[in-house]
Structure formats: structure tokens, C-alpha cells
Chains A and B, each alone.
Chain A
Amino acid sequence: EADIYQTPRYLVIGTGKKITLECSQTMGHDKMYWYQQDPGMELHLIHYSYGVNSTEKGDLSSESTVSRIRTEHFPLTLESARPSHTSQYLCATNGGLAGETPTDTQYFGPGTRLTVL
């Protein structure tokens, strides 16, 4: 069982609000990821990090931002939420150093279901 936590699990918020989705892990993994997933659709990578002070944008353009000040935390922030941001956000980690080995496995958190009214 992977020790990766996301809060809140569910969030309903009005348009224009600033929100931060929390992700924390206790495995000491260097690499962390944020994915966005809509119902019945594939996961899309929106941000990733190789380690402290390392953040990169993923394949899917996102208005969110991330930070990695500590190894165990990888929060995602939306400065001004819009209905188009309604989705499930999944945080994941991957053990090992940069340069994934074939046996690495991504461990996912339980996700945050965000609804913007």
C-alpha cells in the first residue's frame, strides 16, 4: 500500500476562488506527478517534479501551478477556479532517481474530485 495522501477528497467551490490541492507522500520518492482525469477518459499529465525545486509542465495545458519546496509535498494551486477546471485530480509518485527504470511503478493517491460552480 503506497503512502500517498491527497486533501481534500472532494471540493465544491464557486468561480473565481483560489484553491490549493494538497499531495503528500511518506516514501521519500523524488519524482511526483499531477494528473487530470475526466469520467471515462484517460489520465492526462499536467505537472511533474524530479525533486525539490524542480517543476515542469506536462502534456496537457493547465492554468494550475505547482511547487516542490519539500520532497514530501507537491501542492497544486488554481489562482481563479472556473467551471472548466471541474475534474478529478490525481497525484502520483515514482520511486528512484530521474531516468525511470523498467521496474518502477507509479503509486497514485486517492484523488481530489473538484467541482467549480
Chain B
Amino acid sequence: KNQVEQSPQSLIILEGKNCTLQCNYTVSPFSNLRWYKQDTGRGPVSLTIMTFSENTKSNGRYTATLDADTKQSSLHITASQLSDSASYICVVSDRGSTLGRLYFGRGTQLTVWP
């Protein structure tokens, strides 16, 4: 069964600290993996997208890594800010259909305290 599991479910950190969010997936075949940021009451916004051949990709203070062999990804946030408080969703796409089906994780709820 194709699944995307994220950990931790929730995380609280102090402003200025770093944190790492985890994503494990069993989706096969694999096309790409994306990390989205979803603010409360808003739609998700794409942070990074990585294909099979990419190991790391950065977007400002966000750095995503991908290990396609172990089917694991992480999102590292450096020097956290209050505005980083949001849900971070891992999304994996297969290439088994013309739709390019997406599998969503439940997200990690990050709270940054001052």
C-alpha cells in the first residue's frame, strides 16, 4: 500500500533554533517528492520538489534531502522564525498513471515560540 508517514506529528521549538522534519514513504514507482508549507486556514504552498536523482535542494532557510534508496526525506529549517509556525506536508508522486497521482502525508505541525 502506497503511504507517506511524517514525524513528528507536532513540534515546538524556540525562535532561532533549527529543526528537522522527517518523511518516510512506500510509494512505488516514484516520480518526485515535494514539501509544502500550510499556514492555518490557507492552502499549501510549495517549498521544494525533488526527483529521483536529486539528494538535496534548498529554498532559503529550508533544505530538503532525499534518499531514494531508503525512501526517506527530511526538511531542515535553520534559524527558525515565528512565521515558520505552520503545518509542513510531505507529498510523493508516482509515475504509474497519466494523472501522476499524489500521496499526502498528514503533516508535521510546527510551532515556533518567541
B114 at the interface (CB under 8 A from A): no
Q: Given contacts A40-B106, A102-B51, A106-B102, are A113 and B46 in contact (CB under 8 A)?
A: no
**A100 adjacent to B43 (CB under 8 Å):** no
Closest chain B residue to A48, Cβ basis:
B99
| Cβ < 8 Å to A, chain B residues 57-114 | 89, 91, 93, 98-100, 102, 104-107, 109
Enumerate chain A residues within 8 angstroms of B100, measured Cβ to Cβ: 99-100, 104
**A42 adjacent to B34 (CB under 8 Å):** no
Chain B window 16-48, contacts with chain A (Cβ cutoff 8 Å), 1 for yes, 0 for no: 000000000000000110101000011111100
Q: Interface size bucket, B side?
A: 20 to 34
Closest chain B residue to A10, Cβ basis:
B41
A12 at the interface (CB under 8 A from B): no
**A111 adjacent to B46 (CB under 8 Å):** no
Closest 5 CB pairs of A and B: A100-B100, A108-B43, A42-B104, A102-B51, A43-B104
Contact surface of B with A, Cβ cutoff 8 Å = 4, 31-32, 34, 36, 41-46, 49, 51, 89, 91, 93, 98-100, 102, 104-107, 109
Contact surface of A with B, Cβ cutoff 8 Å = 4, 6, 40-45, 48, 90-92, 98-100, 102-111, 113
Listed A/B pairs (28) with beta-carbon separation below 8 Å: A4-B43, A6-B43, A40-B109, A41-B106, A42-B89, A42-B104, A42-B105, A42-B106, A43-B44, A44-B104, A48-B99, A90-B43, A91-B43, A99-B98, A100-B93, A100-B98, A100-B99, A102-B49, A102-B93, A103-B32, A104-B100, A105-B34, A105-B49, A107-B46, A109-B43, A110-B41, A111-B41, A111-B42
